[in-house]
Amino acid sequence: MKNIIFFTFTFFLLNGFSFLNGKAPESSDQCFVCHEQLGGVADLFKKDIHFQKGISCAGCHGGDSKTDDMDKAMSKSAGFLGIPKGDDISLRCANCHAKKEMMQKYGSHLPTNQLELLKASVHGKLSTTGKEKIVQCITCHNAHGIVSVKSPASPVYPLNIPNTCGKCHSNAKFMQTYNPSLAVDQVAKYRTSVHGMLNAKGDPKPAECASCHGSHGIRATADTKSQVYALNIPETCSKCHSDAEYMAGYKIPTDQYAKYAISVHGKALLEKHDVGAPACNSCHGNHGATPPGVESISKVCGSCHALNADLFSSSPHKQAFDKEKLPECETCHSNHAIMPATKAMLGVSKEAVCSKCHTESKSTKGYFVAQKMRSYVDSLDASEALALKLINEAEQKGMEISETKFKLRDAHQAKLEARTMVHSFNEEKFKEVVVGKGLAVTTASISEAKEAVDNYFFRRYGLMVSVLIISVLSFALYLYIKQIEKKQASKIS
């Protein structure tokens, strides 16, 4: 009897608390009634959004939650499933989360393709044990204390995501079992980035892991469908950085993508699909993304344009730029809208970048050097154009000139070399490349092409002469035959 009184008291007490907590299943969820007494997961479940939406334990674990008979409630006939393990966990979640009508029943407008995305993701494809995939829903969302992703308490709330991902990705021992070559310093680097520092200050807007890699459908960076695949990076970054409204509070421009897209780098990557071309992360870094400072720009550009950077560092411009605190490469080439380096940049015309500092009125040595360097390039261009014209003419006339045509490629090579050598800002060295190599080739090509064209006319004149000689000879022979035959005819008659 005492037991009955105690049970009845407890039952009413618990139900009374549940009622006070909100919409939670009261007397109907007998699982919760008992498990709450045991503490642990039931305490976590109280804070769970599912609990608050009125979903009982049986929603995931099966069984009959309406009966207080434990044997009946947890019997196979009542559909009791127990603790789901391995891939069953995600399937159990998808039981509701993959069904639109079910989600709408609970007033949720969440997407219903999470499992589908997870299965296609690197987390859903790979396995360390061979029995189950690396990541299940609960790996990131927790099991019994699941709260809305918008709640700061959620492990997948923007401010918590770096640590949530870092649980595995910063764990060298765990990562070794799955991908030994993958770095484990992403979170550490992230904390040094502008994004990471703002995130640490409690700003949920800057990019965290999921902003760039996605959430459920994370793919390997080498996967062309990955948001961080080389070709997709500019677009991924631009989702935030080109959104003026989103970026309003950060006081930075939002035209980087537009400028990058028309740049030599952007065209190579986005139009020619050259994955070797630099994307945003090539200069800014990826996890540790930060704008390069004035002093580090040449190092960043120099990681690809090594020769140019070396030449610049040993040129007189290095000291001058440092003195004026001018960003090295950017001063002439700009940053995001880097255009192909044509000869228009060189010289003292209005379009030339040299004339930004070197003006005639100042009569600096640089002004005259720039003027001369431009004149060498102009001479090479004119000479190359003439050589090409003559080669084409000779080719059209059917002359064999392929060797000269091949040789002329060296002039183009000299021009490419000159583009690098210009960073030495040394007239003699530049002249050696443009005149010593380039003009020497074009001059020889012009001479050979002219010879081929002359040879063409020589052949025709030669033909005229030989045809004439042979024709005269033929006619003489014809007359001789006629003479002989005439003699023979007169002999016979």
Partner 1 sequence: MKKIVKSFYDYLDERLHLEDLVHFMGKKYVPVHAHSIWYYFGGVSLFFFIVQVTTGILLLFYYKAGPDLAFESIQYIMSKVQFGWLIRSIHGWAANLFILSAVIHMFSVYFEKAYRKPRELTWISGMLMLFLGMGFGFSGYLLPWNELSFFATKVGSDIAGAVPIVGESMKILMRGGPDVTGATLSRLFGFHVALFPGIFTVVLGIHLLLIQRQGISEPMHFEHLEQKEKKTMPFFPNFLLRDLLLWLVMLNLLAILAVFFPAELGHKADAFGSAPAGIKPEWYFLFMFQSLKYLPAHIIFIEGEVLGILLFGAAFALWLIVPFWDRKSARGEKNRLITYLGIFAIMFIIVLTILGWVA
Binding region for partner 1 (CB under 8 A): 398-403, 452, 459-460, 462-463, 466-467, 470-471, 473-474, 477-478, 480-481, 484-485, 488
**What is the closest distance, in whole angstroms, from the C-beta atom of residue 398 to partner 1 in the complex?**
5
**What is the closest distance, in whole angstroms, from the C-beta atom of residue 493 to partner 1 in the complex?**
15
Closest CB to partner 1 among 110 and 473? 473
Closest CB to partner 1 among 365 and 459? 459
Among 146, 155, 156, smallest CA distance to 92 is for 146
Closest CB to partner 1 among 244 and 469? 469
Contacts of 153 (CB under 8 A, 6+ apart): 47, 147
Closest CB to partner 1 among 153 and 470? 470
Closest CB to partner 1 among 146 and 399? 399
Distances from the Cα of 103 to the Cα of 112, 114, 137, 193, angstroms: 8, 13, 17, 38
Q: In one letter, which amino acid is 415?
A: K
Closest CB to partner 1 among 385 and 473? 473
The angle formed by the CA atoms of residues 424, 428 and 432, to the nearest 5 degrees, is 100
Among 37, 35, 33, 11, smallest CA distance to 24 is for 33
Among 390, 315, 393, smallest CA distance to 354 is for 315
Tokens coding 7: 């049970």
Closest CB to partner 1 among 126 and 484? 484
**What is the closest distance, in whole angstroms, from the C-beta atom of residue 461 to partner 1 in the complex?**
10
Residue ranges in 202-305 assigned as alpha helix (H): 209-213, 233-241, 256-262, 264-266, 280-284, 297-302
**What is the closest distance, in whole angstroms, from the C-beta atom of residue 248 to partner 1 in the complex?**
57
**What is the closest distance, in whole angstroms, from the C-beta atom of residue 438 to partner 1 in the complex?**
23
Closest CB to partner 1 among 105 and 460? 460
Closest CB to partner 1 among 408 and 452? 452
**What is the closest distance, in whole angstroms, from the C-beta atom of residue 488 to partner 1 in the complex?**
8
Phi, psi of 427 (to 5 degrees): -60, -45
Instruction: List Cβ<8 Å contacts ≥24 apart for 242-250.
Output: 246/205, 249/205
State whether the Cα torsion 150-152-156-162 is positive or negative.
positive
**What is the closest distance, in whole angstroms, from the C-beta atom of residue 465 to partner 1 in the complex?**
10
**What is the closest distance, in whole angstroms, from the C-beta atom of residue 409 to partner 1 in the complex?**
16
**What is the closest distance, in whole angstroms, from the C-beta atom of residue 445 to partner 1 in the complex?**
13
8 A C-beta contact, residue 139 and residue 133: no
Closest CB to partner 1 among 222 and 473? 473
Residue with tokens 């509701």: 96
Closest CB to partner 1 among 275 and 468? 468
